[in-house]
Chain A
């Protein structure tokens, strides 16, 4: 399936378009959030603590008098980039060994699978805390921890796709031509696994964002006073009785971003399957059903 038709198929319908729009906005915020924020996110206006939404402070102020709107805008970068970095780590740690499995043989495959199983059993929070205890309470260990813990997901998905594709006839044909296995992997298998990895990356980013926000909410990986979405959420909850509406804003940012990622990931997955939910009983719906004859002839029973 060509990339262009995959893109078009993904964006079919109203919902995916809205999701894409949201993500583009988030991207803009990640790059320019700090500069377009109307006010300095660190500036403490002591005279106006815990204010509600107003003309000056669209989302109100927090317990230190800082403009929440500006904090959220500026906090986009740290939140989203951390999540993306974690996904990048997961991808490299997971997908690369899985692809290598296409070349390296059965023993390697067995060992790699068991390692992935083992990593999957590690509890996120405990592992993150342990790593921080060793490396210090900064963002980098958090990112590494999450990346490491998410890698089995990428490993599994990539391995399944690689195994399926290795059984295809054109791979066997390449073998008969004398093409080396690594070249077969590069030319025939990897490009087809890529869409699956991209879809997994989208959902993983959503998960990572939620996890990062949760960790920051718990105070792990937070670097005060730099704003993050999870951090803003956390500070709001301490003063819930006075500003009950406050958590809505950071929560909305987190949910909209994560939700949009998931929507686009689903749409891409459906588009990759041909955009159909129901699979018709006859092969490929051609415009000329007499072509079905030709297509049906192509399926001949084999001894």
Chain B
């Protein structure tokens, strides 16, 4: 699948604060993300990283304090509520929630839930009941489900099937960008791979761009082209996934990889990477990871600028060239 160069989704220098007045906390800082048509981009963030806030900001559920969100050349962060609803009905972006049990009305059937995704179809008011049914059945087949499920309720089908229904209603109107929040965390390994394969197939068949938000690496393995690593509201690394995983350029990415359970060899020892630095200040102007970084020095009291390893791979670290050798040595 060729990837064109103009971005479908552009998150530019976004800051997001939640809460009011004195209690406002900054959740995201200077976040820049771009997703091109046909790309599958993974965003990794642990608890407290702000990944859910980022998803909500992209979708327009939260307003950024600074920066812009541009989707298919529309600056969605600047839209009025009415224009925003029109944009949503345009069906360019669709979202798959983490928990299909909560994100689908338990009293409505699979067919009814999937048909709700057709609200975004421009002709919704004008297409017939039969046409709606046909499109719903098409979407169900597209995600690998038997159309006989259409009259069941979400609680009556299995977890893997539910997740497919959630995906079906997101793709029924043929969006250009799909955002998935932890699409496979609740599934066992085989079902997880089935859903990941489905997402990759949908990307191939529909020319979709997909942003997958996850808290662990195995949710992205095998399908993502690029990975962004989010730590406490800041992007610390953004690059091609296989290379980043083989030789990460940021210590936090290294810690994530080192911590993942494995049967194979491990170049990085998590115990060496995992520290709590009492000697490093937790200043707002310091590197966001410094207080947990085994390689932090005085230089890390200032925020690092993005270092471009090469086009398409950037890292925010003062010691990006040296920490790896120190870690494996």
Contact = CB atoms under 8 A, between A and B. Distances in A.
Direct interface between A and B, CB < 8 A? yes
Interface of A: 1, 168-170, 172-180, 187-188, 191-192, 294, 297-303
Contacts of B119: 174, 177-179
A299 B159 CA distance: 12
B99 A303 contact: no
Nearest to B93: A176
Nearest to B90: A178
Contacts, number: 80
A168 B119 CA distance: 19
Given A302-B98, A303-B52, A303-B215, 8 more contacts: A172-B103, A173-B116, A177-B117, A178-B85, A294-B159, A300-B99, A303-B46, A303-B53
B167 interface: no
A301 B106 CA distance: 22
Contacts of B95: 173, 176
A178 B158 CA distance: 28
B105 A297 contact: no
A165 to B, nearest CB: 10
A169 B187 contact: no
A173 B104 contact: yes
A301 B181 CA distance: 12
Nearest to A284: B155
A175 B48 CA distance: 25
13 contacts: A169-B102, A170-B102, A176-B94, A177-B116, A178-B89, A178-B120, A180-B85, A294-B159, A297-B186, A300-B99, A300-B215, A303-B45, A303-B47
Contacts of A187: 105, 108
Contact of A177 (B46, B52, B88): B88
B245 interface: no
Interface of B: 45-53, 59, 61, 85-86, 88-89, 91, 94-95, 97-99, 101-108, 116-117, 119-120, 158-159, 182, 185-187, 215
A190 to B, nearest CB: 11
Contacts of A173: 95, 97, 103-104, 116
Given A294-B186, A298-B159, A169 B99 contact: yes
Contacts of B159: 294, 297-298
B98 A170 contact: no
A275 to B, nearest CB: 16
Contacts of A297: 159, 185-187
Given A170-B104, A170-B105, A191-B107, A298 B116 contact: no
A293 to B, nearest CB: 9
Given A173-B104, A177-B120, A178-B89, A300 B182 contact: yes
Contacts of B94: 176
A172 B61 CA distance: 9
Contact of B49 (A1, A191, A300, A303): A303
A168 B226 CA distance: 33
Nearest to A176: B95
Contacts of B48: 303
Contacts of A301: 47
Contacts of B89: 177-178
Nearest to B95: A176
Nearest to A302: B52
B116 A174 contact: yes
Contacts of A298: 99, 101, 159, 186
Contacts of A170: 102-106
Contacts of A168: 102
Contacts of A294: 158-159, 186
A300 B185 CA distance: 8
A187 B97 CA distance: 20
Contacts of B47: 301-303
B185 A188 contact: no
Contact of A303 (B51, B85, B108): B51
Contacts of B120: 177-178
B77 to A, nearest CB: 16
Contacts of A1: 107
A301 B49 CA distance: 12
B326 to A, nearest CB: 30
A303 B51 CA distance: 6
B238 to A, nearest CB: 18
A168 B101 CA distance: 11
A178 B86 CA distance: 7
Most chain-B Cβ atoms within 10 A of its Cβ — which of A1, A175, A177?
Answer: A177
A173 B88 CA distance: 11
A1 B89 CA distance: 30
Contacts of A300: 98-99, 182, 185-186, 215
B75 to A, nearest CB: 18
Contacts of A175: 61, 88
B102 A192 contact: no
The 4 closest A-B CB pairs, nearest first, are A178-B89, A178-B88, A297-B186, A169-B102
A170 B52 CA distance: 17
A176 B59 contact: yes
B137 to A, nearest CB: 19
Contacts of A178: 85-86, 88-89, 91, 119-120
Nearest to B84: A178
A43 to B, nearest CB: 54
A301 B215 CA distance: 10
A240 to B, nearest CB: 54
A157 B106 CA distance: 22
Nearest to B179: A176
B182 to A, nearest CB: 6
